[in-house]
Amino acid sequence: MSNFVCADTHFWHDRVIMYERRPWSNLNEMHEDMISRWNSVVNKSDTVYLLGDASLGNKKNTTSIISRLRGNKILIMGNHCMRNSVTWWRDTGFHWVSKYPIMYGSKPCNPTMDVCLSHIPLSNIRKTNMINIHGHLHSNIGSEIYKNAKNTICVSMENINYTPVDLDELIEQIREGMK
């Protein structure tokens, strides 16, 4: 069982391809390729933390995508998610949903809870030893606030080759970079 993370899938968002220069010509191509990439690394027993902006589709369309994605899916709601309730998102296939950032322990027996998973990056993160893994910024990761911050990373799909990344390995890489 592994843990994965990604953000900003933006399923059923017809303009995200143009806004973010995603490498597909239409939503169907984007959906099929992103589902394939997701399922190529995630097993049924794995957990995936999706850090917001999962889908802009209606309940039926969103469910049609989420149901095809492997793993136990946890949603940290993003700004585009807030138009629907926690229950709505659970009904589409997420196993657990939070309106707020959550703390993540990289190992089950590790009592240090120093990793925050959020949609919008924490603004004061540079002044702490906490790690913030977030989305929201998409390919605009050069924001002055986060420039050269060694303890934060944006996992919007554009930044991770449209494929969920192993969360525990990512945390270890960030910790190594903080030394």
Per-residue pLDDT, averaged over 25-53, amounts to 98
pTM of the predicted structure, to 2 decimals: 0.91
- Rounded-to-integer distance, Cα 165 and Cα 170, Å: 7
Torsion of CA 37, 74, 147, 105, to 10 degrees: -110
The structure tokens 């707020």 sit at 100
User: What pLDDT, on the 0 to 100 scale, is given for residue 95?
Assistant: 98
pLDDT reported for residue 111: 45
CB count in 10 Å sphere of residue 29? 13
Averaged pLDDT score across all residues of the chain: 89
Q: Which of 54-68, 105-119, 159-173 comes out lowest in average pLDDT?
A: 105-119
Domain formed by 3-178, architecture: 4-Layer Sandwich (3.60)
Burial class for 52, CB neighbours closer than 10 Å (0-12, 13-18, 19+): buried
> Distance between CA 60 and CA 62 in Å, rounded?
6
Residue 145 has pLDDT above 60, yes or no: no
pLDDT at 34 over 90: yes
Residue 23's pLDDT band (boundaries 50, 70, 90)?
very high
What CA–CA distance (Å, rounded) separates 147 from 156? Answer: 16
Backbone angles phi, psi at 134, to 5 degrees: -145, 180
Burial class (CB in 10 A: 0-12, 13-18, 19+), 112: exposed
Q: Residue ranges per domain, the chain?
A: 3-178
